[in-house]
Amino acid sequence: MTSPATQVVLPRVPSLGGLYGRGLVASARLGVTGGARSAARALPDVTYVVDDVRAQADHLTAYQHLLHEAATDALPAGYVHVLAFPVAMALMVRPDFPLPLLGMVHVANRVEQHRALTLGDRLAVRAWAQDLRPHRAGTQVDLVTEVASGGDLAWRGVSTYLAKGVRLPDARDEARDDAARQAFTPPVRTGRWELPADVGRRYAAVSGDRNPIHLSPLTARALGFPRAIAHGMYTASRALADVGAARGDAFTWSVEFAAPVLLPATPDVRVAPADDGHEFAVWHPRTGRLHLTGKVTPHP
Amino acid sequence: MAARTPSTSPSTAPSTPPDAPRRAYVLGGNRIPFARAGGTYAQASNQDMLTAALDGLVARFGLQGESIGEVAAGAVLKHSRDFNLTREAVLGSALAATTPAYDVQQACATGLETVVSLSNKIRLGQLESAIAGGVDTTSDAPIAVSDRLRRVLLDLSHAKTPQQRLQAIARLRPKDLAPATPRTSEPRTHLSMGEHQALTTAQWHITREAQDEVALRSHQRLATAYDAGFFDDLVTPYRGLTRDANLRADTSLEKLAKLRPTFGLGLDAPATMTAGNSTPLTDGASTVLLGSAEWAAAHDLTPLAAVVDAEAGAVDFVHGVDGLLMAPVFAVPRLLARHGLSLADLDYVEIHEAFASTVLTTLAAWESEDFGRERLGLDGAFGTVETDRLNVHGSSLAAGHPFAATGGRIVATIAKELHARRAAQVAAGNDAPVRALVSICAAGGLGLTALLEAA
């Protein structure tokens, strides 16, 4: 799918804090006018563009330390997401975005990195929303973010969000279902993560994603979680870091999120070579409940 | 000093490569008895214990005031203020103050690595004599401040204005004051060494009974060696301790069988690793005297064994490809192949007992046809090691394992045994070489192995 032809050039990457404020208002508006939680059919037909985004060395170092990445001058693929995704978020708080920002669940993420971006590169970010579609639990949408440098596409991320309980106007009951969730049997762990209670706050500080569900038990409880939950992209990026240098500079990094990681947590982890790359899984050590699975496949 | 050739006229004389390196010999060793953590040496520092072990060696070999070629030692749990630990121990010892020293750190392989690197220097002619060593204390372990407090303190020291200082201090939170204690878990997997070995134990189907037998044999053999006076010229009492405090001469399979498993509790396979068949945290220090044949003769010392060769290895345990402590399984075949030897050619095999199951998984891998073919690139199984030549005087399960001190303990012990065996053989008219393999696994998926030959 190609990006909408209508481009809106933003002067800079918007702050996620401000976006959450606007998202709250927009969510409330959708809640009122949406009646029985049904969504409009159309996504904003616009591509947001920010032309000159640059990584800052101290910010990169803080990210690499928090995510257990080697502190090289190459930008980890998850760090590019941190830099670029607010541009996509800006779309999600537009008055004409059909789904409420708050309560949307990040269910999957897929990044194609064609080459490593480096500290000092001038990054051009484009973002749009596509493929609004029914899901058995609500409505899904893809947020696409592309990052180019020197005119060439270097990084492309597709973040899939689910608005639970929100139905498209003409979605039939037998809305397209995901493949039945396969029962998860924990494999042999290769390690575990020690995630302290404040890891949500620490990733929020680095990523700017201060969604209240990640910040404290109190703010998370207000939104229906018993405790703060880890950012999905934090866990996915930790798994990418665990794969290490074997991923190379060009790879596909895909992840599907299952049960959220309630903080603090010490989930069991398996990151191991698979046929054509590395596979990873993260699960609760006692209950065996799956938190996320994914794959990192180097490009040939 | 040789006159330099002016750089404008290049020297026509080619630099002659040295002849095949001469041999480097183990001349003896000395250690202090190993204590259990929080026990007899609870108040002793790494420097205290290393100095005690050094002074015992100096006394044993009459090296007072002697300038030794170089001393290398290390500690795994080392405080940053101990950056020159070995040199400070030398300065506090009876050795001449003109004895150079350097620190080494390769996790549990530290002690063996000091033996290997110093032997290489002797073989190259850089040194005539050397002392290898290692020390560790888990009782007096360094404690660090939290990363956030450290960051604030560093920023505070860099601050130039009162306002910058205030800004730095304002970042402090009460929980930042909690100390960060040293950990034995792997930094990349956050699993303890025991939890890692539990995965390997399950993978190779090692039974509880087999592990307890290894532990029992270790205690019995170490006790027998002490009773026979074998350690009289290898161990110097310290702080009232005359034998390794962990040694249980009266343990039995029944007693070992009563202990509850401590590692591998969450696995599908039954948990088999207990405090009895795992090494305890230990305090202690060891040293090994090394020298050339000429230096030994000049000092009227008898070479015990030559340090023939060494091979390090490493495995990718981070991605579960191999067990954390399995690197020696790969290093030993390479080491022996270089000398045209097989396991059958070894008179002694010393495999550091990090856990009883480390010994058993190592042997199982070497006995496996599939593993030999698929992972070691051999025609079949690498070979077997019978128990009568394995850890003949007991090992870490009985003696304890002060991480960096274990290499020196093993090398000095087996060098003495090699020399005695060779002397007995020669007396009986048999001039065949007598060889020992030393294999030590280490954190980080490391392993270091060495080949010794009786002198």
Kindly state whether residue B155 falls inside one of the protein's structural domains: yes
User: What sign results for the dihedral spanned by CA atoms B229, B232, B235, B236?
Assistant: positive
Question: What is the domain count for chain B?
Answer: 1
Kindly state whether residue B160 falls inside one of the protein's structural domains: yes
Q: Given A168, A203, A221, which residue is the final one in a domain? A: A168
- Chain A residue numbers with beta carbons less than 8 Å from the beta carbon of B321 are 272-273
Contact B73, B133 (CB under 8 A): yes
The residue among B318, B321, B322 with the most chain A CBs within 10 A of its CB, best to mutate, is: B318
- The DSSP 8-state label assigned to residue B235 in this structure reads B
pLDDT tens by residue, A154-171: 999 999 999 988 888 766
Kindly state whether residue A177 falls inside one of the protein's structural domains: no
A193 vs B188: CB contact, 8 Å cut-off? no
- At A291, is the pLDDT very low, low, confident or very high (cuts 50, 70, 90)? very high
pTM of the model: 0.89
Kindly state whether residue A203 falls inside one of the protein's structural domains: yes
- Asked if residue A139 and residue A263 are part of one domain, the reply reads no
- Asked if residue A130 and residue A15 are part of one domain, the reply reads yes
Q: What is the CATH number of the domain that holds A125?
A: 3.10.129.10
| B445 dihedral zone (left: phi>0; alpha: psi -120 to 50; beta) | left
A191 vs B318: CB contact, 8 Å cut-off? yes
- Chain A residue numbers with beta carbons less than 8 Å from the beta carbon of B188 are 68, 191, 242
Distance from C-alpha of A191 to C-alpha of A246, rounded to nearest angstrom: 17
- More confident call, B184 vs B52: B52
| Residue A172 structure tokens | 């039939």
- Chain A residue numbers with beta carbons less than 8 Å from the beta carbon of B189 are 190-192, 269
- Chain B residue numbers with beta carbons less than 8 Å from the beta carbon of A285 are 266
pLDDT tens by residue, A235-266: 999 999 999 999 999 999 999 999 999 999 99
Distance from C-alpha of B139 to C-alpha of B137, rounded to nearest angstrom: 5
Say what percent of chain B tops pLDDT 90.
82
Kindly state whether residue B32 falls inside one of the protein's structural domains: no
In DSSP terms, which residues pair with B71 in a beta bridge? B101, B131
Kindly state whether residue A7 falls inside one of the protein's structural domains: yes
pLDDT tens by residue, B77-106: 998 899 999 999 999 999 999 999 999 999
Kindly state whether residue B30 falls inside one of the protein's structural domains: no
- Asked if residue A144 and residue A48 are part of one domain, the reply reads yes
Residues counted in chain B = 455
Is the pLDDT assigned to residue B4 strictly greater than 60? no
What is the complex's ipTM, to 2 decimals? 0.83
B190 is catalytic: no
- Asked if residue A289 and residue A216 are part of one domain, the reply reads yes
- Asked if residue A211 and residue A137 are part of one domain, the reply reads no
For residue B197, what are the contacts with CB-CB under 8 A and spacing of at least 6?
B263, B273, B323, B324, B325, B354, B355, B357, B358, B361
Range of the domain at B171: 150-177
Distance from C-alpha of B131 to C-alpha of B104, rounded to nearest angstrom: 13
Confirm or reject contact between A61 and chain B (CB < 8 A). no
Distances in whole angstroms, Cα of residue B245 to Cα of each of B49, B114, B325, B397: 15, 25, 25, 12
- Asked if residue A67 and residue A3 are part of one domain, the reply reads yes
Kindly state whether residue B166 falls inside one of the protein's structural domains: yes
Residues of chain A numbered 265-294 and touching chain B (CB < 8 Å):
266, 269-273, 278, 285-286
- Asked if residue A231 and residue A141 are part of one domain, the reply reads no
As a whole number, the mean pLDDT across chain B is 93
- Asked if residue A146 and residue A30 are part of one domain, the reply reads yes
* Inter-chain contacts counted by CB atoms under 8 A, chains A and B: 41
- At A144, is the pLDDT very low, low, confident or very high (cuts 50, 70, 90)? very high
A271 vs B186: CB contact, 8 Å cut-off? no
Nearest Cα of chain A lies from the Cα of B323 at a distance, in angstroms, of 10
Q: Given A168, A199, A226, which residue is the final one in a domain? A: A168
B441 is catalytic: yes
Kindly state whether residue B328 falls inside one of the protein's structural domains: no
- Asked if residue A43 and residue A161 are part of one domain, the reply reads yes
A190: closest chain B residue by CA: B320
Among candidate residues B79, B108, B158, B299, the one labeled active-site is B108
pLDDT value for A176? 46
Closest alpha carbon to B417 in B363, B449, B450, B453: B453
Kindly state whether residue A241 falls inside one of the protein's structural domains: yes
B401 is catalytic: yes
Is the pLDDT assigned to residue B373 strictly greater than 60? yes
Confirm or reject contact between A245 and chain B (CB < 8 A). no
Choose the closest CB to B321 out of A192, A273, A285. Answer: A273
Kindly state whether residue B157 falls inside one of the protein's structural domains: yes
For residue B62, what are the contacts with CB-CB under 8 A and spacing of at least 6?
B299
Kindly state whether residue A180 falls inside one of the protein's structural domains: no
Confirm or reject contact between A189 and chain B (CB < 8 A). yes
pLDDT value for B85? 97
Residues of chain B numbered 293-332 and touching chain A (CB < 8 Å):
317-321
pLDDT tens by residue, A14-70: 887 777 777 766 666 665 444 445 666 789 999 999 999 999 999 999 999 999 999
Range of the domain at A240: 186-300
Kindly state whether residue A227 falls inside one of the protein's structural domains: yes
- Asked if residue A99 and residue A5 are part of one domain, the reply reads yes
- More confident call, B167 vs A186: A186
- At B182, is the pLDDT very low, low, confident or very high (cuts 50, 70, 90)? low
Is the pLDDT assigned to residue A283 strictly greater than 80? yes
pLDDT value for B9? 43
Distance from C-alpha of B46 to C-alpha of B135, rounded to nearest angstrom: 6
Question: What is the domain count for chain A?
Answer: 2
Is the pLDDT assigned to residue A188 strictly greater than 50? yes
pLDDT tens by residue, B39-66: 999 999 999 999 999 999 999 999 999 9
Distances in whole angstroms, Cα of residue A210 to Cα of each of A84, A263, B211, B399: 16, 15, 51, 54
Kindly state whether residue B170 falls inside one of the protein's structural domains: yes
pLDDT tens by residue, B316-356: 999 999 999 999 999 999 999 999 999 999 999 999 999 99
First to last CA, chain B: 35
**For residues B295-315, average pLDDT:** 98
Kindly state whether residue A175 falls inside one of the protein's structural domains: no
Residues of chain B numbered 374-433 and touching chain A (CB < 8 Å):
none
B322: closest chain A residue by CA: A190
Nearest Cα of chain B lies from the Cα of A237 at a distance, in angstroms, of 14
Is the pLDDT assigned to residue B303 strictly greater than 80? yes
